[in-house]
Structure 1
């Protein structure tokens, strides 16, 4: 368990230094994709870099690359805090997803992980911006199961958080290629302790930007979104 003060507890960074052995890849290669991710802890630095390549051609427009924590026995009790703060040092302007899990199941007989509910938050800010601290309130974490939003999910158990993940995905074909996100720390914090209450761009899968696609008919739009959700659910079936 990371050291804590009354206002802040570091999950990674700060007084809980980043270590590469705490993270492992969970990419679309489990479904025949070609995306790759890495988490590199810079030597003599308190910064970790989540980076890699998001391939969307192999699987016909879908894809994801992610890093998740390795230990299945690790628990974080962050119930006395108001949310999480990501101290971002540098980014490429792309959208990323932060994920928490409070439940893990034993692997199935074929060695694959069994799906459980994931709590997700999407964020983005322009590449040219200065470093920012992204605050994620508990209420803003969205429960999903196999890539689909789960309306009837039980509340996130903040006393028993089991896994932390960082993900890069295509968001229905709107991004691909190399990516890089440098993070100084991930910490649970109280609102009064945060140095910033900045609200990042929050992706709404039901409201694509005009730059992504122009729709002539509502039916066409709904069909496209249904296909995108089906692709991502299929990809996430065994890892999320």
Structure 2
């Protein structure tokens, strides 16, 4: 895909990947053991999101993610004139697992104790190709309507419209989905771009509106005799931000 008035590269293309623009946000903040990395091989126009999802330490739960360094003063370029995002996911080394792409248009200052404050997240799941499949590399088109708002792990249907002129954070995540995924993961991406009229030949990943409540982070209930109830990764993680 070439750069023109219908395409705004965010990463890759004419906006080269940089590992310094990303940072890890893994379940180790709550005693987990998952680890993630984002590699940008020299001379290669791609990024490699990789790591290990360990679900043993947290009772079947876990997440590993890489997010962009926060743009508190200077958000990403205005994407309001575009229809959605296009990702080119490379077949090489791909694992066929489910990943989550997340956007935020608000990032608040941290609390005095260093924890982040909760804000609305807009997310969409997609499945990577798998080495050995016949399809080859995949270009995935995600219209803005496929990004579903959540707040503290719960769907937020009354959320304000995503402010596409003010996107502050983009994240890539591997999570357990109630223990359905674990172990090593690897995702190679050539680019992420905002695009206009992007139907083309790109595949549209199935958007799972309830995905925000399917990661399965067990949490002790209050006054329930220690009964364990499943919570979403966002609910579990946002316990840090109260």
Whether TM-score is above 0.5 comes out as yes
User: Of residues 142, 158, 161 in structure 2, which corresponds to 1:136?
Assistant: 142
- 1:84-128 deviations in whole A, cap 9, x for unaligned? 001111321000000000001000010111110000000014412
- 1:170 counterpart residue number: 176
CA offset at residue 149 of structure 1? Answer: 1.2
Please give the residue correspondences for 1:51-62 in structure 2 after superposition, counting only pairs within 5 Å.
51-62=50-61
CA contact (8 A) 2:9 2:191 kept: yes
Note the residue ranges of structure 2 that are not aligned, 5 or more in a row: 212-227
Moved over 6 A (4+): none
Please give the residue correspondences for 1:13-28 in structure 2 after superposition, counting only pairs within 5 Å.
13-28=12-27
Report the number of matched residues. 217
What secondary structure, in the 3-state scheme, does the structure 1 residue paired with 2:230 have? helix
What secondary structure, in the 3-state scheme, does the structure 1 residue paired with 2:64 have? strand
- 2:122 counterpart residue number: 119
CA offset at residue 199 of structure 1? Answer: 2.2
What secondary structure, in the 3-state scheme, does the structure 1 residue paired with 2:145 have? helix
CA contact (8 A) 2:99 2:128 kept: no
- 2:153 counterpart residue number: 147
CA contact (8 A) 1:62 1:228 kept: no
- 2:163 counterpart residue number: 157
CA offset at residue 230 of structure 1? Answer: 5.0
What secondary structure, in the 3-state scheme, does the structure 1 residue paired with 2:67 have? strand
Instruction: Report the more deviating stretch, 227-236 or 10-19.
Output: 227-236
Distance 2:60 2:126 in 1: 21
Is residue 74 from structure 1 mapped to residue 86 from structure 2 by the alignment? Answer: no
Distance 2:68 2:234 in 1: 21
Is residue 5 from structure 1 mapped to residue 4 from structure 2 by the alignment? Answer: yes
Length-normalised TM-score, structure 1: 0.84
CA offset at residue 20 of structure 1? Answer: 0.5
Distance 1:107 1:70 in 2: 14
- 2:219 counterpart residue number: none
CA offset at residue 44 of structure 1? Answer: 0.8
Distance 1:135 1:230 in 2: 25
Distance 1:120 1:70 in 2: 18
